[in-house]
Amino acid sequence: MSGIQATRKSNLNTVQAIWRIYPFAKHALPRISLGMIAALLGSVVALLIPMVLEKLVNGALAQRDPAEIWPAVAIVLGLGVVEAAMIALRRWFVLLPGTTVEAKMRNEIYRRLQDLPVAFHDRWPSGQLLSRMMQDLNMIRRWLSFGIVLLVVNVLTIVIGSVILFTWHWLLGTIFLVCAIPVWIYGYMFEKKYSIVARRSQDQAGDLATNVEEAVHGIRVLKAFGRGKHALEGFSVRAEGLRGVEIEKAKAIAGIWYWLILLPDIGFGLCLVAGIWLASQGQINVGELFAFFATAIVLRFPIESIGFLLSMTFDTRTAVDRVFEVLDEVNTITDPEHPETIESPQGRLEFDDVHFRFADSPERYPDLINGVNLVIEPGETMALVGLTGCGKTTLTSLTTRIYDVTGGAVRLDGVAVQNLTRGELRRNIAMAFEDATLFSASVRENVLLGREELDLDSDEAQRVLDEAIGVAQAQFVHDLPNGVDTTVGEEGLSLSGGQRQRLALARAVAAAPSVLVLDDPLSALDVDTEALVEAALRRVLASTTALIVAHRPSTVALADRVALMQDGRITDVGTHTELLGRNEHYRFVISSLEDEEKREREEALQ
């Protein structure tokens, strides 16, 4: 279902792969390092405490001198305080970095995603984006403030501990180390095996999120057809799939745990026998043997924890890979290096041999927009008429660089749209889409969305708002619970299709652009309202250049001229009456009068 499904693993090794978060984590490294030092000191103290206890008890207290008790207690207490303090310090040091790195990356992903072209969003299921933005970043945070710190500290602890083991007797130390060798080999194999399942599990979690999102957004369709059960079946197949992968993951983890528990224990067993033999040879005394095992036992937890920490590290690597798939995505629609500006916008919109095709469109298909030449003069209103799927909406998307042309040029006042910053371009050209998206904000904010320079509470803003609402016949907003301050959109009141369409129209009008691009802006309006909107729109359009996608003669009536589109080309341009007179295809597309008359005649005959 998703094009990204193919399990990609970057060719970097784990360290390099994770290192890519360095730019985000740079500022945090000192604190993370300090955290490690605190953690290391903490575990050294933890290692020391049993030894000190032994020394104190067997040394000072063995004399049964009450005067020795208090100093001993003080030492133990002191070490205890140091241990607790080190743990507190470690937590305190890594606290900020972990969360700030996460927040930084989250903001960056969001910024990138907003910047990436619509073509990217068409391709990527939103659940995949969501799971990267939440789950994967969450993983990275936990690894930064916990995983990496413990991994480094535990490895160091093991190294230090091993050295101490050698100081008791070289043979015992060697036995212990030799037993550890297979763990490293297994760990290497584990990485390969585990990384694949980890990646699959995170991808499937993303797909599951997509599934959830679609089931929620498409709830009306599912309900209308009573397909809740059908959707549940699809979902449960996916959820089962995820469960399978997660269990596979657990099996891989169980594999490495097995060796991490078994091998040190085998080492202990062998050391015990060897130790007794050494003692019988007089090479080591009982106290030393005891001390050897006291140290060795302390190493057990760090060794066992390596399994968990490794799997966490590989999970993080996968998370970083997934995040960087988004961050590394090359944005094909960017601002020019040396942008031009339009001093005084006139609103002349020109399509010059414009071609467009989707990057993944098979070669046997001609370009979706196949050589469009069209000029809309300042102040002119041009209707764009054609059959559904002939490329009208795509053509309108090229004006504001929702997509970029693949050939030719779209020019605004003689400047190719690619040579303007996107901000300036979109300030000059405002659009109303057919599916009217409102955001979770007040009516006021939604309508004035294109006027960021206005202070929302100013009189000017109020005037623009009132006018736009008037043009779009959206007076219904005054009857909403809080009038124009009522929250609409997902988080607020749900409006009908016609109401949303009118607000979207008001939004485009309020933007006061030099060019208005309207995609079938009146489709959901009833006849009466449509007539009112048209009358008001005519006033606005008198001074504004407009490109209007139209399906109905009533909408066409707004236009000075009509461009007829057929299979990605403009085949005829003229006034409505001219086209009606000379172009058969135009009559086919726009005229239903004959049908109606025919029907009426038939009815009359009956």
Partner 1 sequence: MSTATVRGVTGEEREDLTKEESRQIRRRSMRLLGTLLKPLRLRVIGTMVLVIISTASSVAGPALIAFGIDTALPAVLERADWMPTLGVGVLYLVTALAAATFMASYVVASARVSQAVLLDLRLRVFQHTQKLSLEFHESYTSGRIISRQTSDLDAIKQLLDEGISQLVNGILYMGFTFAALFLLDWTSGLVVVGSMVPLYFLTRWFQKRSQRMFRTSRVMSARVIVHFVESMTGIRAVKAFRKEKRNEKEFGRLVEDYRDINARTIQLFGIYEPGIIMIGNLAVAAVLLIGGFRVVEGHLEIGALLAALLYVRRFFDPMEEMAMFYNAYQSAAAALEKISGVLEEQPSVPDPVSPVDLWSAKGKVTFDEVTFAYNDETTVLPSFSLGIPAGQTIALVGSTGAGKSTLAKLISRFYDPSAGAVTLDDVDLRQLHPKDLRRAIVMVTQEAYLFSGTVADNIALGRPDATREEIVRAAVAVGAHGFIDGLPDGYDTDVNKRGGRVSAGQRQLISFARAFLADPAVLILDEATASLDIPSERLVQEALQTLLADRTAIIIAHRLSTVAIADRVLVMEHGRIVEDGTPADLIGGEGRFAQLHAAWRDSLV
Tell me the window of 191-199, 261-269, 336-344, 376-384 that interacts with partner 1 (CB under 8 A): 261-269
Instruction: Choose which of 203, 380, 413, 520 interacts with partner 1 (CB under 8 A).
Output: 520
Minimum distance between the CB of residue 567 and partner 1, rounded to whole angstroms? 10
Minimum distance between the CB of residue 373 and partner 1, rounded to whole angstroms? 22
Q: Which of residues 293-332 bind partner 1 (CB under 8 A)?
A: 293, 297, 300-301, 308
Number of Cβ atoms within 10 Å of the Cβ of 503: 25
Which residue carries 């060697």 as its tokens?
Answer: 174
Minimum distance between the CB of residue 304 and partner 1, rounded to whole angstroms? 9
**C-alpha to C-alpha distance for 194 and 201, rounded to whole angstroms:** 10
Minimum distance between the CB of residue 317 and partner 1, rounded to whole angstroms? 18
Quick one: CA torsion of 358, 361, 366, 372, rounded to 10 degrees? 0
Residue 243's SS3 state is helix
Instruction: Choose which of 12, 48, 87, 152 interacts with partner 1 (CB under 8 A).
Output: 87
Minimum distance between the CB of residue 16 and partner 1, rounded to whole angstroms? 27
Residue 575's SS3 state is coil
3-state secondary structure 415-434: EEHHHCCHHHHHHHEEEECC
Enumerate the β-bridge partners of residue 562: 383, 574
Closer to partner 1 by Cβ: residue 81 or 178: 81
**C-alpha to C-alpha distance for 265 and 193, rounded to whole angstroms:** 25
Tell me the window of 9-17, 191-199, 406-414, 553-561 that interacts with partner 1 (CB under 8 A): 553-561
Q: Which of residues 184-203 bind partner 1 (CB under 8 A)?
A: none
Q: Which of residues 125-164 bind partner 1 (CB under 8 A)?
A: 125-127, 129-131, 133-135, 138, 141, 145
Binding mask 562-581 for partner 1 (x = CB under 8 A): --------------x---x-
Tell me the window of 155-163, 192-200, 343-351, 589-597 that interacts with partner 1 (CB under 8 A): 589-597
Q: How far is CA 280 from CA 93, 296, 504, in A?
A: 50, 21, 92
Minimum distance between the CB of residue 203 and partner 1, rounded to whole angstroms? 14
Quote the tokens at residue 590: 């726009």
**C-alpha to C-alpha distance for 437 and 414, rounded to whole angstroms:** 31
**C-alpha to C-alpha distance for 468 and 326, rounded to whole angstroms:** 38
Q: How far is CA 214 from CA 219, 222, 317, in A?
A: 8, 10, 29
Minimum distance between the CB of residue 434 and partner 1, rounded to whole angstroms? 5
Tell me the window of 114-122, 167-175, 343-351, 376-384 that interacts with partner 1 (CB under 8 A): 114-122
Q: Per CB under 8 A, does 259 bind partner 1? A: yes
Instruction: Choose which of 170, 265, 283, 581 interacts with partner 1 (CB under 8 A).
Output: 265
Q: Which of residues 453-512 bind partner 1 (CB under 8 A)?
A: 476, 489-491, 494, 496-499, 504, 507, 511
Which residue carries 């095996």 as its tokens?
Answer: 193
From 7, 582, 546, select the one nearest 534 (Cα to Cα). Answer: 546
Q: Which of residues 270-299 bind partner 1 (CB under 8 A)?
A: 270, 272-273, 275-277, 279-280, 286, 289-290, 293, 297
Minimum distance between the CB of residue 162 and partner 1, rounded to whole angstroms? 18
Q: Per CB under 8 A, does 552 bind partner 1? A: yes
Minimum distance between the CB of residue 345 and partner 1, rounded to whole angstroms? 16
Q: Per CB under 8 A, does 536 bind partner 1? A: no
**C-alpha to C-alpha distance for 339 and 420, rounded to whole angstroms:** 5
347 and 379 Cβ atoms separated by less than 8 Å: yes
Q: Which of residues 205-244 bind partner 1 (CB under 8 A)?
A: 205, 208-210, 212-228, 230-232, 235-236, 239-240, 243
Q: Per CB under 8 A, does 539 bind partner 1? A: no
Instruction: Choose which of 6, 11, 15, 66 interacts with partner 1 (CB under 8 A).
Output: 66
Strand blocks (E) in 253-376: 349-356, 369-376
Which residue carries 């937890």 as its tokens?
Answer: 301
From 522, 520, 545, 547, select the one nearest 533 (Cα to Cα). Answer: 522
**C-alpha to C-alpha distance for 221 and 241, rounded to whole angstroms:** 26
3-state secondary structure 150-206: HHHHHHHHHHHHHHHHHHHCHHHHHHHHHHHHHHHHHHHHHHHHHHHHHHHHHHHHH
Q: Per CB under 8 A, does 19 bind partner 1? A: no
Minimum distance between the CB of residue 318 and partner 1, rounded to whole angstroms? 15
Minimum distance between the CB of residue 12 and partner 1, rounded to whole angstroms? 26
Q: Per CB under 8 A, does 357 bind partner 1? A: no
What is the size of the binding site for partner 1 (CB under 8 A)?
A: 190
**C-alpha to C-alpha distance for 78 and 268, rounded to whole angstroms:** 32
Binding mask 417-456 for partner 1 (x = CB under 8 A): -----xx--xx--xx-xxx-x-xx--------xx-x----
Q: Per CB under 8 A, does 2 bind partner 1? A: yes
Minimum distance between the CB of residue 522 and partner 1, rounded to whole angstroms? 9
